[in-house]
Amino acid sequence: MGQFPLFDDNVDAPGLDITVVRGALSPKDADRVMENLQAEIEWDQEWIVMFGKRSPVPRLTSWHGEKNAVYTYSNIKMDPKPWTPTLSEMRDLCQQHASHEFNSVLANFYRDGKDGNAWHADDERELGKEPVIASLSFGATRAFQFRRVDDHSRKVALDLHHGDLVIMRGLTQHLWQHRIAKTAKVFDGRINLTFRWINPNPTEPSR
């Protein structure tokens, strides 16, 4: 991982409040879920405008949840599609592990290593002051990288495998950014599900 030390209990990463659940689903169950997600989800190609240029987001997405769980990020407004049977099943699994309720999920499909997700934090106002986010991975192993907002030299990373779960909470989204970097070493697809609680009437601004 180059300059990214591996995340573990001994790493010096103040404010990075994450729990890693390796093999939250067995390989057999993870295979079943990924196959079902590919059959159930209608993927969208979103577009963003940067420096006056309109470009496709380098992955496919699909937003699902309760009717009032409208989400906006990178100036993209996402109206929720209904829960699918498999997304509902995975929501229940994540709620058990996180001891937290979720009313929405962003599904990302990374078709191969050419797809990625740039540095960002999930700190939008509708997520609340200290959001709890549960992230499930299926398919190809990809590196989940973090860097401190106030000191980009502070970096850590972990490889997320088929069926792994990461739970982020506390000040993580305010003190750290994360990304899925593009890589020429991955040729297979990956589906990631990030479960969130959207407040339809937020009163507290993001920090």
CA 87/CA 90 separation, integer angstroms: 5
pLDDT in tens, 120-143: 999 988 999 899 999 999 999 999
Tell me the helices (H) and strands (E) count for the chain, helix number first. 3, 14
**Model confidence, pTM:** 0.90
Ordered by start, the domain boundaries in the chain are 17-196
Rounded mean pLDDT of the chain? Answer: 91
Q: Which residues of the chain have pLDDT under 70?
A: 1-2, 9-10, 74, 202-207
Tokens 């929720």 identify what position? 80
Q: What is 17-196's CATH number?
A: 2.60.120.590
Tokens 């191969």 identify what position? 112
Query: Count of CB atoms within 10 A of residue 46's CB?
Result: 16
- Residue 172 φ/ψ, nearest 5 degrees: -50, -45
**Pair of tokens at residue 34:** 């990924």
